[in-house]
Structure 1
Amino acid sequence: MTSMEEMQFNMAYRQSPSLPVLCTTGTHYDVGYNTGVTFSNNIRQYVNSSKRICEKIKPYYDTQEGRELYDIFLKATEDSYPQYCRELKGISDGSGVPFEMLFLLNISPEIRRHLERDTTPKVEADGCSDIFLNGPNLKLLVHNEDCDPLVKQYGYMLNTKIDDVEGKERFLAFCYPGIFPGPAFAVNGDGLVITIDGLYPKHVTLGAPPRYFVNRSLMRMTDIDSAEKLARNAGHGMAFGFCANISSIRNTEESWVLEIAPGHPNAGTQIHTIEEGTELDPNYYFRCNSYKHSTVEEATYHSSTHRMIRAQELPAPKSLHDILNILGDTHHGLYPIFRTPRETDRSETVLTVSMNILNKTMNLYQGNPKYKPYPFLSLPLELDKDII
């Protein structure tokens, strides 16, 4: 089979809703290697097909400034997260994609912001939308995964148990090709459910580890306090920004929003607690890609502003059906909540995921959930910590 035939075969295979799930155990390197071997074609095709990688990330790496930035981030990452560098080396060895290329993928948010540091962005950044609904009998965290459209074709799930010198990890996570678990959505063995919204500070903190590595570290959290500690990453901090939306299937009364801002030697953190409402008036909280509880100088992206405005115009949801109607809203012609690629916006809502905290289920939707409100895949939120 030629490379073109191989690409056409894989594209045909993924046209209908589908999502491969890899179950694997071992050390960080083992799990990385098994991921690389299993999804080598997905990773290679993504690296070779993505315009933002081919037209921005790779050419920048070939400049002196790009190499210097790469070296700065590599040193900061090796100092803070040597286990995840081993994991990335495993993905590289398993997939045959050079380590340098994979590391570039995992520092791509910092590279893009650094390249745009003195300009107003012309095209929207990746970014997701989230809704919490917290009542006595209904507790939901629902998330639109907005990212590079190619992720719909080449993304995958990782169901893993890691036992290494740094300790044990257990999680189920959605992954972008060649990028660590953590930047999208996941649940871990301690019953912590997490979805991520990218945030876009105006400046990158050089000398601190990249955002995706901090995302990856949150797979180890055991409660909201440990999540904040991991995000602060004392002594090292973080180069960029994101928001972690967190619920617990074991401590169901409250949910939390953890905003993280760049900083060195500590990242800035701010926790907002979403209390339980009443049965008739559950607590509703919508967020997307701007800081709500922290004071941070941000880059301006219109999509986040318009999604927030539109969500405020719509009636507060009382059910999952209502939430899916909001997350599927396409009212705004340029910057809708449910995103599809256009001249002003490079992102697509590749998946919607509903975390039902009381029923302990994760339901995944592909296509607009307002019109396709039935999941194509359901997975448990309660993971056995001893077996996969």
Structure 2
Amino acid sequence: MKALIAFAESDPIGTKAFRSIVQDTSSAFPELVRELEGLAEGSGAALDSIWVANLIAELDPLLPPSQSSASNQGHCTDIYAHADANPEYPIHGHNEDWSVDAKEFWYYVSLTPDPDSEQEADFSACAGLTYPGSMLAYAPAWNAHGIYQTQNTLFPNNTRSDGGLACSFVQRAALCSESTTSLDAYLAKLHTGGWASGASLNVVDLGTGEMANAEVLLDAFDVVKVKSTGNYSHTNEFKHLVEGILVDLGEDSATHRQARLDELPPPESLQDIADRLGDTSDTELPLYRDTTLTSSLLDVASGALQIWDGRNPKEGDPDFVWNIKEWFGST
């Protein structure tokens, strides 16, 4: 974060990218800018630093390779499955990976509009994992309509330095909207065009059991609906968006993790997914590592979300178990 803040403040490329992305994103999402201003005021941090915390995906690829997170440990892993290949029993797993330094600095936050407020809220109820200064929906999160999402960071070589929309804002607006009541509604809101960079979004509809992966890059957008059979997973490299595959910088950890998942048989239970998220058989670049902050398992049928806090999900009970279908009282 110190490197990103210094890049945005002092480096000519970083400053240009930071200012232009802030301008374009502010024009598109003024209500979320007010939220950032509130985070800055409440925390005592500089507003620009709060902005940087929400532009990691856009600024990080522009850093010199020695400083970029793509060059050190990689990021997240997602696994989709259907129990016993039953389309009525979808399940999903996610490793939230970032940095050993970040292990003590994340939170679960739940946002609910105040029904007694004189001013109408400009968001719908949603909750999820957040980082200091960051908005909800950059990491695993869900809304009051039963839509659950996670993200895989991607590393294209054509990230814009002249503007565009920040993914954290698009994702937040897509998830925390009163009209986002289905998987397709969420995907439609993601497909804005004009992104400054790209991302992989994994989405589950707890109401219908539908699951999908969306890859986004600049104006390009592609979706894979996850079927009831097969072995579908996603790490930190483009898999199906042609425009992204052509400009993917590649990432050794993601390549190793994806290869390990591909060689295993399709998972058919929550325990199968836990075993894969906790897999350390690749001694060089395993799926589970010291940079894994949390591991999450979602039983879509029941709504039960199991979360392990910095512990291998193969090796014990979860630290938290929440029913996200009932989180806001009704879905």
* TM bracket, shorter-chain basis: 0.7 to 0.9
Partners of 1:174 and 1:186 within 8 A in 2:
yes
Counterpart position of 1:226: 185
Matched, 1:291 2:238: yes
The structural deviation recorded for 1:122 is 7.4
Matches within 5 A, 1:56-205: 56-116=4-64, 123-124=71-72, 126-134=74-82, 135-136=86-87, 138-162=89-113, 167-205=122-160
1:163-221 deviation line (CA, Å, top 9, x unaligned): 76674311111101111111210110111111111122111123211122222222233
Q: Distance in 1 between matches of 2:70 and 2:236?
A: 16
Q: Counterpart of 2:197 in structure 1: which amino acid? A: F
Q: Flag the 1:91–1:181 CA change in 2: closer, same or farther, 3 A.
A: same
8 A Cα contact 1:124 1:301, kept in partner: no
Instruction: Name the CA shift for 1:120/1:128 in 2 (closer, same or farther; >3 Å).
Output: closer
- Cα offset, 1:94, TM superposition: 0.6
Superimposed CA distance per residue, residues 256-315 of structure 1 (whole angstroms, 9 cap, x where no aligned partner)? 1111112xxxx32111111234xxxxx432111111111111112111111111112223
Aligned residues: 315
Unaligned runs of at least 5 residues, structure 1: 1-52, 278-282, 341-347
Going from structure 1 to structure 2, the CA distance change for 1:209 and 1:117 (only over 3 Å counts) comes to farther
Q: Distance in 1 between matches of 2:238 and 2:249?
A: 11
The partner residue of 1:305 within 244, 255, 276 is 255
User: Distance between the aligned counterparts of 2:167 and 2:254, measured in 1?
Assistant: 19
CA change 1:385–1:321 in 2 (3 A) is closer
Determine the C-alpha separation between the residues in 2 that align with 1:67 and 1:298. 24
Mapped partners of 2:42, 2:238: distance in 1: 38
Deviates further, 67-76 or 87-96: 67-76
Classify the secondary structure of the residue corresponding to 1:133. strand
**1:274 alignment partner in structure 2:** 226
Q: 1:186 to 1:314 in 2, by over 3 A?
A: same
Structure 2 counterpart of 1:338, from 285, 288, 293: 288
State whether residues 117 and 203 of structure 1, in contact with CA within 8 Å, keep that contact through their aligned partners in structure 2.
Answer: no
Q: Which residue of 2 aligns with 1:369?
A: 313
Report whether the alignment pairs 1:210 with 2:153.
Answer: no
TM-score, L = length of structure 2: 0.87
**Displacement, 1:125?**
5.5
- How far does residue 104 in structure 1 lie from its aligned partner after superposition? 1.3
Q: For 2:17 and 2:305, locate their aligned partners in 1 and report how far apart those are by CA, in whole Å.
A: 38
Q: Mark the CA change 1:273 to 1:59 in structure 2 (over 3 Å): closer, same or farther.
A: closer
Identity %: 24
- Give the Cα–Cα distance (whole angstroms) in 2 for the partners of residues 71 and 376 of structure 1: 40
**CA contact 2:57–2:153 (8 Å) conserved in 1:** no
SS of aligned partner of 1:208? coil
Larger Rg: 1
In the alignment, residue 382 of structure 1 is paired with which amino acid? K
Q: Which amino acid aligns with 1:213?
A: F
Moved more, 131-140 or 197-206: 131-140
Q: Is the 8 A contact 1:284 1:316 kept in 2?
A: yes
- For the 8 Å contact 2:8–2:18, the answer to whether it is kept is no
Runs of 5+ consecutive residues of structure 2 not aligned to the other structure: none
Cross-structure match for 2:213: 257
The SS at the match of 2:236 is coil
From 221, 228, 242, the counterpart of 2:199: 242
1:228, 1:269 within 8 Å by CA — same for their partners in 2?
Answer: no
Q: How far does the alpha carbon of each residue in 1:127-177 deviate from its partner, in whole angstroms, 9 at most, with x for none?
A: 211111122453211100011223321210111123766743111111011
Instruction: Report 1:318-329 matches (<5 A).
Output: 318-329=268-279
TM-score under structure 1 normalisation?
A: 0.75
Deviation of the 1:245 alpha carbon: 1.0
Q: 1:229 deviation in Å?
A: 2.3
The DSSP-based 3-state class of the residue aligned with 1:169 is coil
* Aligned Cα root-mean-square deviation (Å): 2.4
